[in-house]
Amino acid sequence: MAVMEDGALVGIITERDLVRAIADGVNPSQTAASVIMTADPATVTADEDVSVVALKMMRLGVRHLPVVDGNGKPVGLVSARNLVAVLDRARS
């Protein structure tokens, strides 16, 4: 999930962020998103090659990357699972 402030992407909250917060004793339903989120996440654009996105994820050790338009506005979220599905379809 994208976390926005004044129209700008300031972070994302992933399943991993929620699990980490709960393990740390944080109640996500009573905590500000800024406490749980991954701040200032790396991003990709919709026209980036799948292999470039996969390498970026591996290099950064992340499973999700926000997809942004030319103005830096989020338009989606790509996951490692999405990439595996695309690569699997390409092989078939």
**50-56 — which CB contacts under 8 Å span 24+ positions?**
50/83, 50/86, 50/87, 53/78, 53/83, 54/80, 54/83, 54/87
pLDDT digits over 3-35, tens only? 999 888 999 999 999 999 999 999 988 999 999
Side-chain half-sphere of 18: how many Cα atoms within 13 Å? Answer: 7
pTM above 0.85, yes or no: no
pLDDT digits over 49-82, tens only? 998 999 999 999 999 999 999 988 999 999 999 9
List, in order of start, the domains of the chain with CATH numbers: 2-91 (3.10.580.10)
